Structure formats: C-alpha cells, structure tokens
Amino acid sequence: MTDLPLAGRGCVVTGGSRGIGAAVVRMAVAQGADVVLGYHSGEKQARALADDLSAAHPGRRCIPLYADVSDTEAAARFAASALDHLDRFDVLVNNAGITRDTLFARMTPEQWHQVIDTNLNSMYTVTRPLLMPLVKQRSGAIVNITSSAGLHGTPGQTAYSAAKAGIVGFTKALSKEIAARGVTVNAVAPGLIDTDMTAAIPEDRAEFLKSLIPGQEFGSPEDVACLVCFLASDQARYITGQTIEISGGLVV
C-alpha cells in the first residue's frame, strides 16, 4: 500500500467548504490529490481552507469554486471550470446536501423541492457534465454521499430520506452503465456525524439519537473522509455499485 493513495489524482468535491466535505478535501490533499472544492454560501470558509491546505502541502493545488448544485446551469458552469483548473480529473465526490426537517403533514412545496434539488437532482446536475471525461479516460471513481436516512427512513425527514434513497438507486444503476469503462460508482451512508447539520438537532433529540448508537457517540467528519478516500483510491478498484453505511452500528 502506498503512503499517498491519491497521489497525482484530480478530485472534485461538492460542498467542500465545511463538515464532511471539508474533511474529505483535507484528507484527499494530504493523500496527494489536487482538489477543486465547491462552495455555495461559504466562500470565506472555502478560501480559508484552500489557503491553509496550499500552505501545508506545497505543490498540491486546492481550488475553491462557487457551485449551486441545485441549479443545472450553475452546476454545469462549476463542472466546466473545475475541469479547466485541474491538470487531470479522476474523482468526483457528490457531497453537498441539506436538510429541512419537518413532519410530512407540515412540509411546504419549497422545503420538498429544496431538499430534492440539492440532495438528489444534484446527482444529475453535477455528475452528467463530469462523466464523459472519466469514461473517455477509462478510469476514475465517483463517490456519492447518501445517509442512513435513505436506507432506513427517518421521521421528520421524508424528503431527505426519499432523496438519499434515490442516491442509492442512482449509484447502483450508474455503476452498471460504466463498470466496463473502469469507473467505479459507490455511495457512503453516514449515520450521525458531528457537523453543522447535526448541531441543528435539538439537544434532547440528539441525546435520544445517541442512545441508538452502540458506542453512544456521533462520528467525526474524518471517519467518513477515510472511507470516501479509500473508495476514491485504486485500493477500491474492484468495489462498485455499493452503499456502505458508516454509522457506529446505529440501530433504528
């Protein structure tokens, strides 16, 4: 096993400004990759992260670019610009996501569409313009971030659970379309991970959720990044079409 499993790889990570995406960006650069990190509202955070990583890893490139993955044209511009900025392109991590938690009976059309557009339609808007370079190159990896909610269903998260379940089907189908071209497509399904997303959960609910985890603690963004970077590397070349849950054994 090489010390730098992503050496020389070009990676694109959506939602790379904070949370799990930022941890993936940090780990990918540390493992030798050049990375384009997409941000939406977090330009300042994304630029600070890119500056830190460029200083810590001279010779590596870390490029922040604006991306609204819920918008087809904005996502296409992001994809084209990402390809322009990278010498080569090997790995796409579809990580950007949002929640709009509410009981289904109270859900507004705006909440439903925001969640579906950002979490599920982004699989189309971002992957479609970045697919052919990987297919033509006959190598590469796509890693989609889904959720335990998509596997088991979470009350208060019907739209989110539907979108994340959709990612599982998308991953399986696309993996079969392009396996013969040497491109893998896998999904990672985190349970409860310490980020801004889970910080928004009311404390009593968070304590209840923790009680469903055998180790009684949330995972870290780095726990997820390890799995994502493994799936992005050649070490995982024979794994495709899979959804791997990373949840500390969460029992729901």
Minimum Å gap between C-beta 161 and ligand NAP is 11
Residue 26 lies near ligand NAP (rule: CB under 6 A): no
Strands of the 140-145 sheet, one edge to the other? 62-66, 34-39, 10-13, 91-94, 140-145, 183-190, 243-246
Residue 197 binds ligand NAP, judged by CB under 6 A: yes
Query: Does 233 interact with ligand NAP (rule: CB under 6 A)?
Result: no
Q: Least separation, in Å, of the C-beta of 180 and ligand NAP?
A: 28
Is the CB of 136 or the CB of 226 nearer to ligand NAP?
A: 226
Residue closer to ligand NAP (CB basis): 31 or 118: 118
- 192 interacts with ligand NAP by CB under 6 A: yes
Cα 221 vs. chain centroid, distance in angstroms? 11
The radius of gyration computed from the CA coordinates of the chain, to the nearest angstrom, equals 17
User: Over 103-122, what HEC string results?
Assistant: CHHHCCHHHHHHHHHHHHHH
d(CA 130, CA 29): 20
Dihedrals phi, psi of 91, to nearest 5 degrees: -135, 130
H helix count then E strand count, the chain = 10, 7
* Catalytic (active-site) positions: 160
10 near ligand NAP, rule: CB under 6 A: no
Considering CB under 6 A, how many residues would be counted as binding ligand NAP?
Answer: 30
> What is the dihedral angle through the alpha carbons of 5, 30, 25, 176, rounded to the nearest 10 degrees?
0
Q: Which of residues 123-142 bind ligand NAP (CB under 6 A)?
A: none
73 near ligand NAP (CB under 6 A): no
- Cα–Cα dist 160/146, whole Å: 10
Residue 159 interacting with ligand NAP (CB under 6 A):
no
CB of residue 169 to ligand NAP, shortest distance in Å? 16
Out of 31, 157, 195, 240, which residue is the one contacting ligand NAP (CB under 6 A)? 195
Q: What residues line the site for ligand NAP (CB under 6 A)? A: 14-15, 17-21, 38-42, 67-70, 95-98, 118, 145, 147, 190, 192-193, 195-198
